[in-house]
Amino acid sequence: MMDVTIRGAGIFGLSIAWACAVRGARVQVIDPNGIGAGASGGIVGALAPHVPENWNAKKEFQFQSLIKAEPFWAQVEAMSGMSSGYGRTGRVQPISDASQLALAHQRAENSKTLWRGKASWSVSDNAPRFAPASATGFWITDTLSARLNPRLACDALAEALRLRGVSFAKEGTDQGKTLWAAGAEDLFHISKVLNRPFGNGVKGQAVLFDLDRRECRQVFAQSLHFIPHADGTLAVGSTSERYYEDASSTDEKLDRLITDALAILPELKSAKLILKWAGLRPRTQSRAPVLGAHPLYPDAYIANGGFKIGLGMAPRIAEVMADLMLEGIDQIPDDFRPEKSLF
């Protein structure tokens, strides 16, 4: 008899399964599509913080999770013997004009308090290696941002779970406490059954280049993330499309993204393009992750709505949901509760 059933083998489901398993719970993971089949099988892997201003529970939760990410992934890698591609390598951002420069300096001051000495946000006129041109001659660098290879991370988690005795299946019967972490598919289903918007899937498209900048910071410029992965590839993404015809196909929107990326970082022009990706990211009506009681299934739980920040949120979400299911301890921020997406 299992103590916990996790329905969904994406980053939320696997991370929560891990948090439960290391506490001694007997866990099974059920997903008809296999490991990392949805948004968690993407290619970008930007673990990037919210800016240090207008602090709230969501930003604090994400900050805690980003700090916890390093020991979390170290533990997974030690157990599995596999790389997750994690690295807290930091981030660089060009500053476009005088008003943004003033704002960047203010955020640097804010970070001293809000980030509590655990990471830094700074402004410099010394151009970092592998950085886009800056119209002001200044750049932001932070030491909180990290990278993760989504596919490798899911595979490493799955292997660590297997070694912990966790079983995987495409079909099965719920046993013990049940948690649904089934991504956009479940959000669509909840909305349909309730006959009101609860969440949906937002399409994203991204591209992978053969360019080894693994020792460099990630770049954020003109709403694009440039992530130098530990395996010598470099991912760029993503589009954000609420309306689309085919969720899994790439199209002219990705072509435009590639054109923009080459203009921002011209050295990409000589790099081989090795992969294009498209898929749906789960987004709730509140735009925050949704955690707690499942809206449809009595006595079941939900963890969904990672959208663009799910990879970075996973370590803390895993901890909070394991606390709730195994210990009855509820630390879910009010803004993350299901009712916040039922308006």
Domain boundaries, the chain: 4-87+145-196+285-341
Considering only CA atoms, which of 184, 160, 245, 143 is closest in space to residue 42? Answer: 184
Residue type, 81: G
Considering only CA atoms, which of 159, 167, 165 is closest in space to residue 31? Answer: 167
Each residue of 293-314: pLDDT tens digit?
A: 999 998 999 999 999 999 999 9
pLDDT digits (tens), the chain, 343 positions: 899 999 999 999 999 999 999 999 999 999 999 999 999 999 999 999 999 999 999 999 999 999 999 999 999 999 999 999 999 999 999 999 999 999 999 999 999 999 999 999 999 999 998 999 999 999 999 999 999 999 999 999 999 999 999 999 999 999 999 999 999 999 999 999 999 999 999 999 999 999 999 999 999 999 999 999 999 999 999 999 999 999 999 999 999 999 999 999 999 999 999 999 999 999 999 999 999 999 999 899 999 999 999 999 999 999 999 999 999 999 999 999 999 999 7
Residue type, 3: D
Q: Is 117 exposed, middle or buried (0-12, 13-18, 19+ CB in 10 A)?
A: exposed
pTM score of the predicted model: 0.97
Strand residue runs (E) in the chain: 4-7, 27-30, 46-47, 91-94, 121-124, 139-142, 146-147, 167-169, 177-180, 199-210, 218-221, 224-228, 234-237, 272-284, 290-293, 300-304
Q: Please state, for a pLDDT cut of 90, what percent of the chain lies above it.
A: 98
CATH topology of domain 4-87+145-196+285-341: FAD/NAD(P)-binding domain (3.50.50)
Residue type, 74: A
